[in-house]
Amino acid sequence: MSAPAVFGNRIGGASVPAASGASFENRNPADARDLIGTFADSGAEDVLRAVAAAKAALPRWRALPAPKRGEILFRTAEILVRRKEEFAAAMTREMGKVLAETRGDVQEAIDMTYYMAGEGRRQFGQTTPSELARKFQMSVRMPVGVAGLVTPWNFPMAIPSWKMMPALILGNTVVIKPAPDTPLSTVNLLLALEEAGLPPGVVNMVTGGPEAGAALVSHPDVGVVSFTGSTATGRKVSEAAARLFKHCHLEMGGKNVVMVMEDADLDLAVDGAVWGGFGTSGQRCTAASRVVLHEAVAREFTERFVARARALRVGNGLEAGIEMGPIINAAQLARVESYVAVGQAEGATLLTGGKRLAGGTQAHGFFHEPTVLGDCTPAMRVSREEIFGPVVSLIRVGSLEEAIEVGNSVEYGLSASIYTRDVNKAFRAMNEMETGIFYVNAPTIGAETHLPFGGAKNTGNGHREACVQALDVFSEWKSIYIDYSGALQRAQID
C-alpha cells in the first residue's frame, strides 16, 4: 500500500485546495484501512473558480483547429495505453472491481479518446442545394461553451472520457466533478491529458459531494450539463438545467433483462447471466439484474446458474483468481442487503447468497455474496427497482410474448438480451424491446464506444453518449447561407 496523498482541485492547470480548506478521504472498498488519499471537499466557491477558468480558456481552445485538438486527444490515448496497467491498478484500489475489469475501463477510455481524436478531422455537417440561384449553404457544428460533467463511480475513467472527449474535440472547455468514491481515476485521466499538451484551464476538476455538483449544474456560465447517476439525482439535474435552458444529457437507472428461451444454448446463457449479473459486482447501469426464463428450461438453468454464482471467488480485486470485488461503500452494501430482505418479504426464494461477507481478508471491506432470488414475479420491487449490486432476480414465463412483456414492464429502458437459436424470436425481441441497447446471445453488458450508448424511458432524456451521437450533446448546429448573386434574393418569395 503506497502512502496516502493529498489531492487538490485542478483549476486553470494548478492544484488548489478547497476554498473552505475541507477535504474528504478516499478509501479502498476492499480494505477500508487503506487510505488512498484526501481530496478537496468543494463547495460553490470552488465551482465558481473552476467555471471561471474554463470560461477563460474557451476562446483559445475553440480557436485551435479541430484536427489540432484531435492530435492532443490522440497523444492522450497513447499515454493511456502506456500507463494502462498503472491506472487500472489505481482504479481497482479505489473502486474495487477486479483488475481485468479496470483494465477494460481504461481500455474503454482509450477507445473513446482515439475515436474522438478522429472526429477532429470529421465533425461532418451538410452541404445542400439552395432553392435560389448563386446561393450556397451548409451546416457546421459549434461548441456550446463550458461543459459541466458529473460522473459516477462505477466506470471511473471510461465515463469521464465518454463525456470529456466529445466535449473537447468540439472546442468546449470542461469542469468535471467525479464521484467522491473514485476521484483518483479522473486525476489520472487529467494527468494523461496534461502530459499530452492540453492547455491549462481547458479541463478543470472539482472534487466533492452534492453541494459541488448542484453548484456546477446550475451555474449560468455552464452551457451543457452531462450527468450519469441515479434517476432521483438526474431529475434534480434536469430541473436545474431547464431553468437556464442548458443542454442537458442524462444517463440514469436500468433494470436490464436477459431472456432465456426454450431453445437457448444453456451453457452460453448461464455464462452470459453470470457475467452480466455479477460482473462489476452488479454495479453497472447495464447489469443483468433480471433473468426471464422460459419454463421449459427454468429448472435446469436455475440449477446451473445458482451453482456458478455460489462458486464465484469474491475478494480483493487486485488478487489473482478473484472474480468479483467488493461493493463500493457501506451505504451501498446496506442497500443491497435491504433489497435481499425486501425480496424475501415479497415472497422471493433466496437460492444462494444473501449475506455480507466479513470473515478473514474480507473483514475490512464491503463484500456481499453473489445472490440469486428465485420465484420472483414482475410486480416485486426486486424485479422493478435498480439494486446496483450482485443480486439477480429470476422470473418464469411461458412464451416469448410473455418474456417481452415482462422485459418491458419496468420504468427503465437501457439494455436487454435474448438467448435463442431461433432467428425469428431474436428479431421479434430485437424489434419489440423498448431499450436503447439490445443483444442476441450475449449478456446485457459490453457496449462498445462506436455505437450510441443510452436508454429509453426513464433511463435517459433522449440523448446518447459515445459514437457520433455524443457530438450532438456538446454542440450547436449553425446553418450558413452564402449568397453570391450580388442581388437581394428572397427565400420563399422569389
Question: Which residues of this chain interact with ligand UN1, rule CB under 6 A?
Answer: 108, 154-155, 284-286, 445-447
Q: Which is nearer to ligand UN1, 43 or 282 (CB)?
A: 282
Q: Which is nearer to ligand UN1, 8 or 443 (CB)?
A: 443
To ligand UN1, the closest distance from the beta carbon of 466 in angstroms equals: 9
Amino acid at 219: H
C-alpha cell at 330: 457501506
Reply yes or no on whether 323 is catalytic. no
- For strand 146-150 and strand 222-228, is the pairing parallel, antiparallel, or unpaired? parallel
Task: Catalytic residue, from 248, 285, 376, 467: name it.
Answer: 285
To ligand UN1, the closest distance from the beta carbon of 412 in angstroms equals: 12
Length of the chain: 494
C-alpha cell at 440: 442476441
Place of cell 438467448: 419
Reply yes or no on whether 285 is catalytic. yes
3-state secondary structure of 17: coil
- For strand 437-440 and strand 456-457, is the pairing parallel, antiparallel, or unpaired? unpaired
Spatial distance between the Cα atoms of 23 and 42, rounded to a whole number of angstroms: 8
To ligand UN1, the closest distance from the beta carbon of 218 in angstroms equals: 24
To ligand UN1, the closest distance from the beta carbon of 277 in angstroms equals: 12
Q: Which is nearer to ligand UN1, 259 or 447 (CB)?
A: 447
Q: Which residues contact 364 (CB under 8 A, 6 or more apart)?
A: 31, 32, 33
Cβ-defined contacts of 124-133 (< 8 Å, 24+):
125/477, 130/481, 131/491, 132/483, 132/485, 132/489, 132/491, 132/494, 133/485, 133/489
3-state secondary structure of 97: coil
To ligand UN1, the closest distance from the beta carbon of 120 in angstroms equals: 23
Torsion of CA 342, 344, 345, 346, to 10 degrees: 90
Task: Catalytic residue, from 194, 251, 369, 386: name it.
Answer: 251
Spatial distance between the Cα atoms of 346 and 62, rounded to a whole number of angstroms: 56
Q: Which is nearer to ligand UN1, 13 or 446 (CB)?
A: 446
To ligand UN1, the closest distance from the beta carbon of 482 in angstroms equals: 43
Residue 38, Cβ neighbours under 10 Å: how many?
A: 18
Place of cell 466535449: 167
To ligand UN1, the closest distance from the beta carbon of 3 in angstroms equals: 31
Q: Which is nearer to ligand UN1, 228 or 302 (CB)?
A: 228
Q: Which is nearer to ligand UN1, 9 or 154 (CB)?
A: 154
Q: Which is nearer to ligand UN1, 51 or 433 (CB)?
A: 433
Please, what sign has the CA dihedral across residues 144, 240, 15, 93? negative
Q: Which residues contact 314 (CB under 8 A, 6 or more apart)?
A: 322, 323, 324, 325, 357, 362, 367, 368, 369, 370
* Catalytic residue set: 251, 285
